[in-house]
Structure 1
Amino acid sequence: MTATPPSLPTAPAAPATVEEAEAAWRAAQTLPDPEPALRSLLHPDCVIVHSAVGHLHSADEWLRYAGRLGRTSQVDTFEVTVRRFGSTAVVSCLQEMRVAFVPELTPFVIQAAVTRVWVESPSDGWQLSHLQMARRMPPG
């Protein structure tokens, strides 16, 4: 009997469509270690504008920042619009994330109006080149 060697983790396939890229982006955020999957979707020159104080981060800076926040357990998007311009696509949506800033407490809900700009490359599929997240205050 021959033992089958354990399979090595493979890099995620390059997203062939903007919709696949969006789904991969949401799914990656909820992984126990999201950094490798998120990095594979980020264009090297990506700019991310986020947080209530308006951080302006490169891909590496944002990944370090996001890694310190706590585990994201859920990401939902609403009112999604996709506009394609050749090899560029602009996705706008309302987004709701549940983030466990303190692991033993109920996750905190963050709502944001979000714009993601994706660019298509023949070798890397769709990659995120710009992300703008503007937090929304809960109604009431």
Structure 2
Amino acid sequence: MTTAHPGPASVNGIRMPDTVDQAEAAWLVAITAGDEEQRRLMLPDCVIVHAPVGNVHDRERFLSYNASMGPTLEAETSEVTCRERGGLAIVTCHQKMRIRRVPDLPPFLVQAVATRVWFSTDEGWRLGHMQLSRRQPPV
């Protein structure tokens, strides 16, 4: 996952990821930092499939839904695989997030299998599609 992206690599003066590795790392930081950080990494027409009922949301609706769930305090991935071809990268992984749903309770653990589709653009790698499938904790 180390293909470099030629070009200026910035959006509104914010440096964008030059590699898929950097894009994935930036995404984990962004989901703990808030809407604006996520929005910068996402293409305007990004589609997200998520939640137990299989919501299909555009970027803005997903960000609004996510904000209503409470802040994500931690995020990590494991078992990451990447297939990159012709300006497109598909990353699949196990993802864990700890979400503060209620202020006085411990964070809620969400585990999912995530598939993210990254597109190489003039600005750098941007998220164009994501699917999160809830995963039960191992027995």
The TM-score with structure 1 as length reference comes to 0.88
Using the aligned pairs only, state the percent identity.
Answer: 45
The secondary structure found in structure 1 opposite 2:36 is helix
**Match for residue 7 of structure 2?**
none
| Structure 1 unaligned blocks of 5 or more | 1-9
Q: 1:97–1:11: structure 2 CA closer, same or farther, 3 Å change rule?
A: farther
5 Å-filtered alignment, 1:1-140, equals: 11-31=13-33, 34-122=34-122, 124-140=123-139
For the aligned residues, what is the CA RMSD? 1.1
Aligned equivalents of 1:63, 1:112: Cα separation in 2: 17
What is the Cα deviation at residue 36 of structure 1?
1.0
Aligned equivalents of 1:17, 1:119: Cα separation in 2: 11
Aligned equivalents of 2:78, 2:65: Cα separation in 1: 25
> What residue identity is the alignment partner of 1:136?
R
Aligned equivalents of 1:127, 1:20: Cα separation in 2: 11
**Match for residue 9 of structure 2?**
none
The secondary structure found in structure 2 opposite 1:61 is helix
What is the Cα deviation at residue 87 of structure 1?
0.4
Q: 1:78–1:19: structure 2 CA closer, same or farther, 3 Å change rule?
A: same
> What residue identity is the alignment partner of 2:14?
P
Aligned equivalents of 1:45, 1:36: Cα separation in 2: 16
What is the Cα deviation at residue 139 of structure 1?
2.7
What is the Cα deviation at residue 11 of structure 1?
4.8
**Match for residue 8 of structure 2?**
none
| Structure 2 unaligned blocks of 5 or more | 1-11
Aligned partners of 1:115 and 1:131 also within 8 Å = yes
Which structure would you say has the larger Rg? 1
Aligned partners of 1:70 and 1:103 also within 8 Å = no
> Where has structure 1 moved over 4 Å in runs of 4 or more?
none
Number of aligned pairs? 128
What is the Cα deviation at residue 17 of structure 1?
0.6
